[in-house]
């Protein structure tokens, strides 16, 4: 073959190869084309419809977002007027005045409680912490002698306690860092009754849930340590069906309420649970006097009725005697021979 015929031959080979490749491609595309025209499933149809709706509602969503932003701007502008009554918590927090009064929960009774009571004490401490954070006049809150079962229970069930704010949690006893003359132990067994709170003092609440198994223990401990002691003036304002021993959180909350209202009676009846059967002392006295009067009247009525019954019995006996006499005379007259 001459050199002039080589280029022409190569061109024809290339054309044939391209034809073969195109034919192969068409054959490969045939099954694909059949797949393209397969019917769409219901699930795919739903997806397509949703996508179409989402795209159609794009402008509507933009409009809604604009309206929401405008509404929030109006609310922010009106907020100072609507919250002038102090109903908003954030606004209330601005009016908070911290009290210098120190309120201590003494946790040195850990060994005297079973795990069930430890858990109850833990819940009461949680309540005290929450109420102090919400109060208008929060106190300087101390948790002393913290350790043992209580700390273990808090570590297991309330790991967030390590991040608590506005509280002093100390493993030491309160007497190690507070002067004795500043301490007043609150115990229901004390003969001393508080008239008002001295905010320069540190008041101690016994962290003990004992169900009256250790009566007078906190009073004894205060006396042994030479610490001043007192009880809340509960008996001056409240008449209760049960003993005057209150839970830790109730004592804590009563003090917070008194710091806000400066009224013991209002503080007691705001905090004390209904199950205690608390009644104001003046109402209790009125009810007692009313019961006594009612008893006297009832007793008088009973005595009058008994006298009437006695008289009726005497009258009936006299009538019976008369009838017996008449019957006896009739029988004697009938028995006499004519």
Give per-residue pLDDT as tens, 273-285.
Answer: 776 666 777 765 5
Return the closest-CA partner of residue 255 out of 165, 167, 134, 132.
132
Q: Which architecture characterizes domain 100-281 according to CATH? A: 3-Layer(aba) Sandwich (3.40)
Q: How far is CA 292 from the centre of its chain?
A: 40
Is-above-0.75 flag for pTM? no
> Binning pLDDT at 50, 70 and 90, where does residue 80 land?
low
CB 205 within 8 A of CB 252: yes
Q: Are strands 168-169 and 140-144 parallel, antiparallel or unpaired?
A: parallel
40's CB contacts (< 8 A; 6+ apart) are 48
- CA–CA distance, 83 with 91 (Å, rounded to integer): 7
Mean pLDDT, rounded, for 169-181: 95
Average of per-residue pLDDT across 209-227? 88
Q: pLDDT (tens digit, 9 = 90+) per residue, 187-212? A: 999 999 999 999 999 999 999 998 77
Active site residues: 210
Query: With bands split at pLDDT 50, 70 and 90, how would you rate the model's confidence at 227?
Result: very high
């Amino acid at each position: 073959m001459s050199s002039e015929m080589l280029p022409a031959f190569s061109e024809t080979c290339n054309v044939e190869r391209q034809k073969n490749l195109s034919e192969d491609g068409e054959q490969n595309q045939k099954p694909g084309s059949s797949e393209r025209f397969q019917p769409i499933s219901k699930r795919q149809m739903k997806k397509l419809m949703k996508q179409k709706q989402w795209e159609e509602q794009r402008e509507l969503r933009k409009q809604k977002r604009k309206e929401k932003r405008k509404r929030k701007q109006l609310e922010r502008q009106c907020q100072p007027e609507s919250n002038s009554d102090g109903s908003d918590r954030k606004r209330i927090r601005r009016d908070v005045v911290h009290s210098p009064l120190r309120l201590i929960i003494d946790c040195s009774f850990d060994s005297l409680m079973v795990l069930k009571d430890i858990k109850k004490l833990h819940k009461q401490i949680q309540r005290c912490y929450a109420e102090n954070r919400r109060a208008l006049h929060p106190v300087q809150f101390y948790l002393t002698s913290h350790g043992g079962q209580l700390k273990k229970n808090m570590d297991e069930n309330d790991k967030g306690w390590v991040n608590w704010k506005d509280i002093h949690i100390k493993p030491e006893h309160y007497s190690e860092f507070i002067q004795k003359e500043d301490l007043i132990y609150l115990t229901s067994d004390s003969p001393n009754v508080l008239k008002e709170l001295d905010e320069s003092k540190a008041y101690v609440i016994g962290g003990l849930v004992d169900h009256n198994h250790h009566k007078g223990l906190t009073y004894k401990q205060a006396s042994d340590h030479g610490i001043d002691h007192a009880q809340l003036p509960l008996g001056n304002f409240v008449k209760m069906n049960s003993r005057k021993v209150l839970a830790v959180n109730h004592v804590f909350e009563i003090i917070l309420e008194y710091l806000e209202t400066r009224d013991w009676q209002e503080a007691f009846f705001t905090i004390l649970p209904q199950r205690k059967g608390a009644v104001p002392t003046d109402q209790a006295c009125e009810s007692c006097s009313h019961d006594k009067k009612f008893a006297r009247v009832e007793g008088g009525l009973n005595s009058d009725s008994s006298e009437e019954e006695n008289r009726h019995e005497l009258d009936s006996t006299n009538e019976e005697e008369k009838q017996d006499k008449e019957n006896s005379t009739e029988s004697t007259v009938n028995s006499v021979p004519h």
